[in-house]
Amino acid sequence: MKRIVRLLAISLGSVVCSSLIDARPDNYLISTLYTIAGIMFSIGLGLIVTFNMSGVRNKAFIKEIRINLKKVRDSFLFYFAISTIGMLSTQYTPKKDIIFFTINKLNVVFSIQILICFVMSFSILFFIINFLEVQKLNHDIFDKVNNED
């Protein structure tokens, strides 16, 4: 549900931005954002997959960590898949904006390029924040396990 709300908020933001700004991102910017998203996705997913719980003895805690890591992993895969589909769609679809309607000489416009830039920027931010949180959790577990000995 959170993912859908986030994507709807991103879509609404992109429509507002598309309506107010005439500039549109080119394929180079979208390609660069996708490359950055791919790098952050790889680093974050690698950290999740290699997460080390050795030394943790509390079975309930282990189960909770695994459930949360699975949620983060699934979110990483979801946002990277959306970024991939978006990048491909900007490469192979017409660059023409869609005008929904006009209010007082202001066109309410949808631009796929701006939407994809917003989605990729959000994905990069999501990857970075979750990467840092997983890394912090790993450090906290290490510290807690070593303090108990």
Q: Is it the case that residue 103 has pLDDT exceeding 90?
A: no
Q: Helices in 1-149 by DSSP H: which ranges?
A: 2-20, 27-49, 59-92, 112-148
Cα 95 to its chain centre, rounded Å, is 23
pLDDT at residue 106 greater than cutoff 60: yes
What would the mean pLDDT of 120-146 be, rounded to a whole number?
Answer: 91
Instruction: Please tell me whether the overall predicted TM-score, pTM, comes out greater than 0.75 for this model.
Output: yes
- Residue 130 DSSP symbol: H
The token pair at 1 is 């549900």
Structural domain boundaries, residue 46: 2-148
Residues 5-59: tens digit of each pLDDT: 999 999 999 999 999 998 999 999 999 999 999 999 999 999 999 988 888 888 9
In whole numbers, what is the pLDDT of the chain averaged over residues?
Answer: 91
Q: How many domains does the chain have?
A: 1
pLDDT of residue 143: 86
